[in-house]
Structure 1
Amino acid sequence: MQLLQVTTLLLMLLLLILLCLSHGASEMDCERWQDLDSAVVHKEGHVILAGLLPIHSKGEEQELSFVSSPGKRRCRGFNLRAFRWSQAMIYFIEEINRNPNLLPNITLGYRLYDTCWLVALSMRSALSAVSQPLKRNSTGACSSPSIPVIIGDSGSSLTIAISRLLNLFRVPLVSYFASCACLSDRKNFPYFFRTVPSDSYQASALARLIKHFGWTWVGAMGADDAYGRTALEMFSAEVTRLGMCLAFRAIIPKVPTQQQLQELVQIIRDSTARVLVAVATEEDMQPLIEEMIRQNVTGRQWVASEAWVTSTLFSTIYPSLSGTIGFAIRRADIPGLKTFLQNLQPLAEPYNPSAIEFWETQFQCSFNKDLPLSMGDPVQFNRTCTGQERIEDTETIYNDVSQLRVTYNLHKAVYAVAHALHSLLMCQKEGGNSDKQQQCPDILNLQPWQVIQYLKEVNFTNMFGDTVNFDEYGDPAGSYDIINWHKGEEGRPLEFATVGRFDSSLPTEQQLVIHQDKLMWHAGSKEVPVSVCSASCLPGYRKATRKGEPVCCYDCVPCAEGTISNSIDQSECTFCPEDLWSNPQRNSCVEKQIEFLSYTEGFGMALAATAILGVVATVTVATIFLRHRDTPLVRANNSELSFLLLLSLTFCFLCALTFLGQPSRWACPLRRTAFGLTFALCLSCLLSKTLVVLMAFRATLPGDNTARWFRPPQQRMGVFLCSALQCAICVAWLTTAPPYPVKNNWLYRDRIILECHLGSVALFCCVLGYIGCLAVFCFILAFLARKLPGNFNEAKFITFSMLIFCAVWIAYIPAYVSSPGKFTVAVEIFAILASSFGVLLCIFAPKCYIIIFMPEKNTKKYLMSQKVSR
C-alpha cells in the first residue's frame, strides 16, 4: 500500500513537471534540470543509454514530506559484483564506440544509476532517466537528450515496477537479470525485453533435475518478491506434474527477524526432506544460511537458482555448502574486461562517485573530504588514499572474471540495443531521398517508441558464437549451465564446476545433459543423496498411497497373484497375459503350468496300471475259457458271446489308457469314440446273453419255437446291429463337430488345463444316452430272469454287473461335475475301470472259480440237476 501511494505521488509530480515544461518551453530559454540523485555516472554522446544497477544492496527508508525536494538517498552494503556490472557496461559502450562497423559516426553515451535494491529508488531513477535536462536542438526548439532505451534492472520486483512506469512513456526496457516469468506478459509489459532466460525455463529445468536424481520429497523456498514467489509457484506446479512432492514451501522474508529465521530453520530441521530448493538472491539467502550454520543444521543438499548458484560470497565464506548444485546462466570470457577493471582510476573523468567508495572500501583509506561521495554511508579511515593503489594486487569479486554470467547478459543487452540502433541508422542511409527515408526515425532526435520495432527484430551472432534475439514475448531461449560446488584445496574457496547444461531450444530428450562422473555431493561424497518420503517399492510391489498424505508418501504392498511390477515405484501392478502367470517374486510373468493327467505322475501311473491289470485279467479269463471251451460250463454259457464280451472288456480297459496323456487333435476324438463304441459292444453282448438265457428257459416248454430266433447267427446279428447304431452316432459326431483339445484358462488363474472339448454336446449326449438305454434294458431283462435255475442261469450275475455299472455311472455324474482340472479325467477313467471290473468280476469270476477250484461241478449232470426256483 505504501509503495502504491509513493508511485501515485511520483506520477502526479512527473505529470505536473511535464505540463509546466510544455507550457513554458516556448516562452523561456532552456533551463538545466538536476537529476533527482547526484550519484550518477554519465558521459555525453549522440545517443545516451541509461543503466539501472544495484551498486548498493540495501537502502534506507526516507521520510517524504512532499513540501520540499526529497533529499539525497542513503544506501548501504556496497555490492562489488554490481559495481563490476556498472564498469562492464561502460567498457561495452566504449568498445562499441571504437567499432567502426557498428553505429559509424554515432557515439553512445551513458547515465548509470544506483537503485540500491529499492523499488522506490528504482522508479525515481527511471523518472530521472526519462526527464533529462533540456537543451536546444538543431531547429532551436527545446528537447531532451536522446535516451531511447533503459538497461536494467537486476531484480524482478524492481523491473516490474519500472516497466509499468515506463509503459506510460513507451520507453523500452532491456533487463539483464530480471527473470520473473510474469514479465513475459505482453499485455502488461509490451515494451520489455531481456537477455536472461525466463524463470519458466528454470522452473522446468529444476523440476527435471530433481526427477533425474530420484528426489521425490523436497523442500522449496523462495524470496518474498515477484522473482521468488512466481518461480516457486511454477516450480511447484512442474514438480507436481512430474509426480514428485514438496515436503514444505516457505517464503524467505526480505528483512527477516531473528524469530522468523529460527522458525524457518525449524521447518527445515523437522522436515524429512534432505534436498532443499531455493529460488532467491544471495542477499536473501545469506541470513538463512548463517542461521542454519549457527544451529548446526547440516546434511542438506542445496539446489540453487541462477540468482545465487555462482555467488562467490557463499563459496568463500561457507565451505559447508559444498555439493550445492543448480542452474546458472551461460558464461563467457570477455577479452580485455579484466584489464579495464583493474585500470580503474577513482579520480579520472568522467566522475564516478561509486568508484571512490569502492576504492575507499577496498583499500581501507579515505580521499579528500571535499569530494562528493556516492549514496553509501561515508566511512572515515585513518589512512589517506593516493589513487595509485593497485587493484591487480587484490582478489575480490570485482576483478574475478572467471564467472562472467550476469556480466555476459549485460553484454548481450548493450549489444542488442546497439544493433537495434544500427538497424535504425541503416534505415536512413539505405532510404536516400525516398519516402522510406521520411519514415525512418532521426537517430539524433530519437523518441523511445521508435526503437521498439527494431529491438523486436534484433538477431545477430556475437563474438562468442551465441545468437542474440528476442521471441514474441521479448525473451531469449532458455539456456543454462549446471553448476556443482566442489571442495577446493585446503584453505581455498569452493570451486564452481560445470557438470552439464540445459537448452530449451533442443528436442526434449536432449535438453538436459548431466555428466554424472563430474558430480560431487556434500562432504565430497560421490553417492547421490536420497530424499524421499517413502523408500522405493521394489519390483513385485506396488505403491499404496496413505490416506490424507501426499502421493509421494505411500506403503509398499505386494502384487496379487497374476499381477506383476517389474520396475521400482509402480503405482499399479499389471496383469499378466492370458497364457502367462506371475512368478513367486511377482516381478515377471512366466508361462503358466500346463496341467493334464499324465502317465508320468503318480495318479496317472496308478490308473494306467489298473487299466493294464484289467486287460491282463480279461486275457487271463479268456485263456481259461479257451482252454476249457469244451467243458459244459463254458459251452452252456454261450462261449461265442463270452469271448466277444471278453474282447469288448479288453477294449474297455484299453480305452481308459486313451484318456491319459496330453490331449491332441487325434487323442480327443479317439478317447470319446473309443469309449462309446467299446461300451456299446460290451452292453450289446450282455444284452444278447440275457436274451439267450431267457429264450433258453422258454425253449424248454412244449411247443415253444422262440429259441430258433436266438441262434448264434441271430446273436451275432443283434450284437452287430446294436453296435452299428452307436457307430453311426459316432461317425456323425466326428464328421460334424468332433472333440478337440482346448486350453482351459478360466478354471484356474495360475495354470492352464489341457482338456478335450466335446465338440457337439448333443451328439455326446446321444452316445451316453444310447449306452444308458442299453444298460437299463439289459438290467431289466436280467432282473426278470433272476429266478431261473441257479446252475444254468447267468441272469443274476448280469443283474449284479448292471447294478454296479449303473451305480458307478450314476455316481460319476456329480463327481465329474465337481472335480476340477485333471481330476475330471481321472474320475472318468475311474468310472470306466470300475464298471469294466464290475462286469468282468460279476460275470466271469464265479465261472472261473468253478472251472479252476471246483471242477466236479463243471459237468452236464450237475448243471442239469437244478430245479427251477419257486
Structure 2
Amino acid sequence: FVILRAYNNFVLWGLLWCGLFPYNSHQVQKCEIIPGSMSLPVLEKRGDIILGGLFSLHDMVVEPSLSYTSTPPLTQCTRFNFRTFRWMQTMIFAIEEINRDGRLLPNITLGYKIYDSCSTPHQALRAAMELMGTEKGSGLEGETQSKGTCHETVPAVIGDGGSTQSLVVARFLGVFHVPQVSYFSSCACLSDKKEFPAFLRTMPSDFFQVDALIQLVKHFGWTWVGVIAGDDAYGRGGANIFANKIIKLGACVALHEIIPKNRAQTAVSSIVSKIRSSGARVILVFALEQDAEALFDEALRHDGLTGIQWLASEAWSTAAVLSTPKKYHHILQGSLGFAIRQAHIPGLQNFLLRLHPTSPDALEDPFLIPFWEEVFQCSLGLQAEGQEHYVEGKPPCSGAEELGSVTNIYSDVSQLRISYNVYKAVYAIAHALKAMRSCEKGKGPFPQQLLHYIKQVEYSNSFGDETKFDENGDPAAMYDLINWQLKPNGEMDFVTIGKFDEMTGKQKLQIQDHNIVWNGNKTKVPMSVCSSICPPGTRKAIRPNFPICCHDCVAYAIECVRCLPEFWSSADRTACIPKEVEFLSFSDTMGVTLMAVSLIGSFCTCVVVFIFSRHRTTPIVRANNSELSFLLLFSLTLCFLCSLTFIGRPSEWSCMLRHTAFGITFVLCISCVLGKTIVVLMAFRATLPGSNVMKWFGPKQQKAIIIFCTLIQVIICTTWLVVAPPTPRQLIPRKSAIVILLCDEGSPIAFALVLGYIGLLACICLVLAFLARKLPDNFNEARIITFSMLIFCAVWVAFVPAYITSPGKYSTVTEVFAILASSYGLLGCIFAPKCYIILLRPEKNTKETLDVQSCRQILGGHVPSVYIL
C-alpha cells in the first residue's frame, strides 16, 4: 500500500509538472507518463463533453516475465466477460439516447472514452491516468469563460466495476475532485468521504447488503453459519462486517475463509474440506462471480458438497456464469441471495445486437474482435491498430455469424440490474451537467466543480425510480431476495421471493416463505446449528475452546430437586416452570359478565333517579319520603359499583377497598330502608289522639338513625384496617398447576362483624316490616320492604356456605354475585312498583285517589280519622 501510494504521488507530480492539470493555464500539453510504455486499447467517440468509462472486460491478467533488460511486453488480459461487455454497451446506449433526445442537454453532444481495466488495480489506474491525460476532446482543452457564462464541459468517469479497482482509481481522481460514479463497487469502505471525496455510486453499499443478510439469518433461525470471502476489498470488507454482526446477533461463525486471487487448487480444496468438517449447513459466499466459480468448481471435485444451503452476495446472486452451466445446478439449486433492483430498458436489446465486424466503426473498436471470436469460437484473422489476433485451434469465421442467433448473457436483458446501474450513472452525470449549465456568475460554485452538482442530483426517470445520493455518495438500498429454482426444462430461474428496503422502517425485510425451494428441492427450512437441542434428562455443557453455539449434552446427576411452591415440574421432569396465575380478571368471560351486570345495575338506578326527579311533585313520590328514596337510590348505586373492586388483580389497596366499601355502602342502604320502616310503623301505631310519638320520628330523627347505623359500620371497618387489614395473598396448592391470587381478610373477626352487622340490620328491618305488613299500602311500603328483605336475607344466608366451599377465584365470584343479587332485589322490589304507577298508571298517581283509598283502609282498620290528613 505504501509503495502504491508513493507511486501514485510520483505520477501525480509528474502530471502536474508536465502541465496536464494547470490551475491557471488553458493550454494542455501531452505528457508520456512512463517512457517506452504504450497506450491502452480505448473505445472512443468525440463529443462536446467526454465521459470516461472503466469496465473489467477481462477477468484475469497474465503477468509477463520481467527481465529488466528490455521493454516489457504488453499486458495480456484473458477470459472475456460477456456480462461486463453488456454493461459497457449500456453506457454507450445511454449516451446516444441522451444525444438523440436533445432535451436534457440541448446543443451539447456527449462522447466517451472507454478502457478495459482487466479486473486489476494496476490496469485500472493506468486507464484512469490516460483518461486524465487526454490531449483532445476531454473537455479541458480550449475551455473559455466569457463574461456571464460558465464552463460547459467537465470530465467525469463512470466505473470501475470492482471495489478493489475503484479504491485505487478513487484515490487518484479524488486529488483533482473529478467525479467518479461507480455502477458495481459496493465496498462499505468507499463511503468514507475523507479518503474518497469524489466517489459516488449507483450501487448500494455492502453495509446495507450485510444488514439484509443478517436479517435473513435471523428470520430462519440459523446459528451456525460459514463465511467464504474473495481476496479483495469487496469480499474481505463485506465478510468482516457480516461476521461481526452475526456474533452480536448471538449466532456463531462456523468458518471464515478467503479464496486466494490466484485460485490455487490446493488452497481452494482446503476451504472445501473445512466446509465439510465444520458441520455448517448454511454457507455465505461473499465474493465476485469468478472467485465463486473457482470455489464451486472445487466443490464439484469433492462430490458436490451436497446438502449445503448457499447464500449469495450480490456480486454472483444472478451470475449467468454459474446459473447457465448445468454442472452447477445440483449444488446451487435452492440458493438464496440479494440482488439490486432490476428494470427493463426499452431498445437496449436491439442496440446490443447491432454489433458486427463488418460495420464501418468495427476497426475502431478494439474490444469487438475478441468479443466476436469468443462468442462464436472462431478466428477473424484481423489486425487492429496496435493489436494482432492469432487464435490457435479456432476455425476462421465464415462472416455469416449473427448475434441474434446466439443465446448468452450478453444479449439476455431479462435481468438488467448492473446494466441499469450503468444507465442511471450516465443520466446522473447528464443531469449534473444540465444543472451546472444553469449557474449564474457569482452564484454557486465554479463551473469546473461538477462534483458539487452531481452530489445534488435528484431526479426520477421514465421507469418511476428516483435517483439521488446521500452525504456519503450512496443511493438508497433496495434489494430483491432471489431464489435459484430449476424450471421443468432444466434451466435455472431466478425467482424473487422477497425484498429488502432500508427506507421502510423496522420491517425492512419481507419474505414469502411458502415460495422458497431449498437446496435438494426441499420445502422445509434447513437447520444449521453447531449442537442440537439436548434431550430430556441431559443438560448443556460448553465445549472448551469452541464458540458458545457449540455444546455437549451431559446427563443429569441422579437426584431430584423439588420445585418451589410457585413453580410446577415440566412433563419430562427436567425443569421447573412457573405456574399459571389465576384471579378474577377483566379479560376473562366471567369477569366481563359480572362487570357488565354491575354497570347495568348502576345505569338502572340512575334511570330511577331520573324518573323520581321528573315526578318529584307527584303524590306517590312525596308520600314515600322523597329524601329517603333519593338517599336509598344513591346507596344502591354505590352497592352496584363496589362490586367492580372485586374484579382485577388483587393489590394492597384493592383488598382494603373492596371489603370496607362493600360493608359501608350496604349498611347505608339497609339503614335507609330501616328508617322508612320505623317511621311508617310508628305513625300507624300511634292510635291515641294527641299522641306526641311522631315528633321523635321526624326528618331529623330519620337522618340521625341513618347516620348512627352507618357510623357503627365505619368504626368497625376503620378498626379493621388499622389492626389487621385485608392483604393480597397467594394460594398455592401443592398438587395444582395454578397459583390463586386472592385477598386475605386479615382479621376473620372483623370480617364476621361487618357481615354480622349487615345481617343484624337486615333482620331488624325484616321484623319491623313484617309487623307493618297489614297497614295501608298507600302510606307505607311494609309489604314491599318485607319481600325485599326476605330476598336480601335469603341471598346472604346462602352466600356463607357457598363462599366457604368455592375454590380459587370462584369464592370472589360468589361474593360479587351476592352483592349484585341483593342490590337488584332491593331496587326491583322497592322501586319497580312505583315506577310502574308513575309511567304506566298515572291515573292512580293523584291525591284524590290516594285519599279515598286511604280513608277506606283506615276506617276498615279502625284507625282514628284524625290521622287521615
Please say if residues 134 and 145 of structure 1, whose CA atoms lie closer than 8 Å, have aligned partners that are also in contact: no
Letter in 2 for 1:488: K
Superposed, which structure 2 residues align to 1:284-299 within 5 Å? 284-296=291-303, 297-299=305-307
1:15 maps to which residue?
A: 13
Kindly indicate whether the alpha-carbon contact (under 8 Å) linking 1:80 and 1:398 is maintained by their aligned counterparts in 2. yes
Q: Which residue of 2 aligns with 1:137?
A: 142
Give the corresponding residue for 2:93.
91
Q: Please point out which of 489, 499, 502 is paired with 2:500.
A: 502
CA contact (8 A) 1:354 1:373 kept: no
**Which residue is equivalent to 1:283?**
290
1:75 — aligned with what?
Answer: 77
Partners of 1:539 and 1:588 in 2: CA distance? 18
2-structure distance, mates of 1:435, 1:757: 87
Between the aligned partners of 1:592 and 1:29, the Cα distance in structure 2 is 89
What letter matches 2:319 in structure 1? S
The alpha-carbon distance between structure 1 residues 466 and 532, as it changes in their structure 2 partners (threshold 3 A), is: same
Residue 449 of structure 2 is aligned to residue 459 of structure 1: no
Contact 2:272/2:298 (8 A) holds in 1:
yes
Alignment of 1:54-453 (within 5 A): 54-62=56-64, 71-134=73-136, 137=142, 148-296=155-303, 297-317=305-325, 318-320=328-330, 321-347=332-358, 348-349=360-361, 351-372=364-385, 378-380=390-392, 383-385=395-397, 387-427=399-439, 431=440, 435-436=442-443, 441=446, 447=448, 450-453=449-452
CA distance in 1 between counterparts of 2:493 and 2:462 reads: 27
Residues 415-438 of structure 1 show CA distances to partners (whole Å, capped at 9, x for unaligned) of: 1111111111222xxx4xx644xx
| Aligned CA distance change for structure 1 residues 540 and 336 (closer, same or farther; 3 Å) | farther
Q: Distance between the aligned counterparts of 1:32 and 1:738, measured in 2?
A: 103
Give the alignment of 1:638-653 within 5 angstroms.
Answer: none
Per the alignment, residue 579 of structure 2 pairs with 589
Q: CA deviation at 1:369?
A: 3.4
Range that drifts further, 160-169 or 379-388:
379-388
Cα distance in 2 for partners of 1:235, 1:372 equals 47
Give 1:256 shift: 2.5
Gaps of 5+ in 2: 558-562, 584-654, 657-717, 750-869
Q: Distance in 2 between matches of 1:381 and 1:200?
A: 46
Q: Shift in Å at residue 533 of structure 1?
A: 1.6
Equivalent residues of 2:208, 2:502 under 8 A apart: yes
Q: How big is the shift at 1:739? A: 9.8
Alignment of 1:18-33 (within 5 A): 18-21=16-19
Deviation at 1:364, TM superposition (A): 2.5
What SS does the aligned partner of 1:299 have?
coil
Find the aligned partners of 1:545 and 1:29 in 2 and give their Cα distance. 70
Cα displacement string for residues 237-295 of structure 1 (whole angstroms, at most 9, x for unaligned residues): 22122221111111111112222122111100101110001100110111111111111
Deviations 1:223-249 (A, max 9, x none): 111111111111112212222111111
Amino acid at match of 2:412: D
Q: Report if the CA contact (8 A) 1:539-1:587 is conserved.
A: no
Whether the 8 Å contact between 1:326 and 1:484 is mirrored in structure 2 is yes
Tell me the amino acid that sits aligned with residue 379 of structure 1.
V
User: Cα offset for 1:382?
Assistant: 5.5
- C-alpha distance in structure 1 between counterparts of 2:45 and 2:114, whole Å: 9
Would the alpha carbon gap of residues 752 and 177 (structure 1) be closer, same or farther in structure 2, given more than 3 Å must change? closer
Return the match for 2:527 from 530, 545, 570. Answer: 530
Runs of at least 5 residues in structure 1 that lack an aligned partner in the other structure? 561-574, 594-663, 666-731, 762-870
CA deviation map 1:751-779 (0-9, x unaligned)? 78999999699xxxxxxxxxxxxxxxxxx
CA, structure 1 residues 316+213, in 2 after alignment: closer, same or farther (shift >3 Å)? same
Kindly state the Cα deviation for residue 367 of structure 1 after the two structures are TM-superposed. Answer: 2.4
CA distance in 2, matches of 1:17, 1:459: 34
Question: Which amino acid letter does the alignment assign opposite residue 322 of structure 1?
Answer: Q
Aligned ranges for residues 576-725 of structure 1 at < 5 Å? 584=571, 589-591=579-581
Residues 734 and 345 of structure 1, relative CA distance in 2, 3 Å threshold: closer
- The 2-side partners of 1:29 and 1:473 are apart by 32
Please point out which of 47, 52, 55 is paired with 1:53: 55
Classify 1:370/1:734 alpha carbon distance in 2 versus 1 (closer, same or farther; 3 Å): closer
Distance 2:286 2:728 in 1: 65
Question: Kindly tell me: are residues 407 and 734 of structure 1, through their superposed partners in 2, closer, same or farther at Cα, counting changes over 3 Å?
Answer: closer
Whether the 8 Å CA contact 2:159–2:180 is kept in 1: the answer is yes
Q: What is residue 675 of structure 2 aligned with on the other side?
A: none
User: Would the aligned equivalents of 1:53 and 1:113 in 2 still touch at CA under 8 Å?
Assistant: yes
Structure 1 length-normalised TM: 0.62
Q: How many angstroms does 1:478 deviate by? A: 1.2
Opposite residue 326 of structure 1, the aligned amino acid is: G
Give the letter aligned to residue 308 of structure 1.
Answer: W
The aligned residue for residue 753 of structure 2 is: none
Taking a change above 3 Å as real, the CA distance of residues 749 and 241 of structure 1, as seen in their structure-2 partners, is farther
Structure 1 Cα separation of the partners of residues 510 and 191 of structure 2: 26
Alignment of 1:673-822 (within 5 A): 737=723, 743=729
Q: Which amino acid aligns with 1:334?
A: I
Give the direction of change, closer, same or farther, for the CA distance of 1:558–1:440 in structure 2 (3 Å limit). same
One-letter amino acid of the structure 1 residue matched with residue 382 of structure 2: K
CA contact (8 A) 1:582 1:589 kept: no
Give the residue type in structure 1 aligned to 2:114.
L
| Distance 1:123-1:741 versus aligned 2 partners, 3 A rule | closer
How many angstroms apart in 2 are the aligned matches of 1:257 and 1:740? 81
**Residue 36 of structure 1: how far off its partner (Å):** 4.8
Q: Which moved more, 1:106-115 or 1:54-63?
A: 54-63
Task: Pick the aligned partner of 1:552 from 542, 549, 553.
Answer: 549
Give the AA of the match of 2:16. Answer: L
Assess if the C-alpha contact under 8 Å between 1:133 and 1:145 holds in 2.
no
How many percent of aligned residue pairs carry the same amino acid?
40
Root mean square deviation of aligned Cα: 4.2
Contact 2:567–2:578 (8 Å) recurs in 1: no
Q: TM-score, normalised by structure 2?
A: 0.62
Q: Is the 8 A contact 2:356 2:402 kept in 1?
A: no
CA distance in 1, matches of 2:28, 2:485: 64
Contact 2:42 2:115 survives alignment (8 Å): yes
Any idea what SS the aligned residue of 2:383 has? coil
1:48·1:111 contact (CA, 8 Å) conserved in 2?
yes
Partners of 2:10 and 2:746 in 1: CA distance: 98
Q: Contact 1:164 / 1:189 at 8 angstroms: preserved in 2? A: yes
8 Å contact kept, 1:480–1:503: yes
Matches of 1:177 and 1:13, distance apart in 2: 27
Pick the aligned partner of 1:515 from 488, 491, 512. Answer: 512
Matches of 2:130 and 2:216 in 1, distance apart? 43
Q: Distance in 2 between matches of 1:463 and 1:148?
A: 26
User: Per the alignment, do residues 506 and 537 of structure 1 end up closer, same or farther by CA in structure 2, a change over 3 Å counting?
Assistant: farther
What is the DSSP-based 3-state SS (H/G/I as helix, E as strand, rest coil) of the residue aligned with 1:48?
A: strand
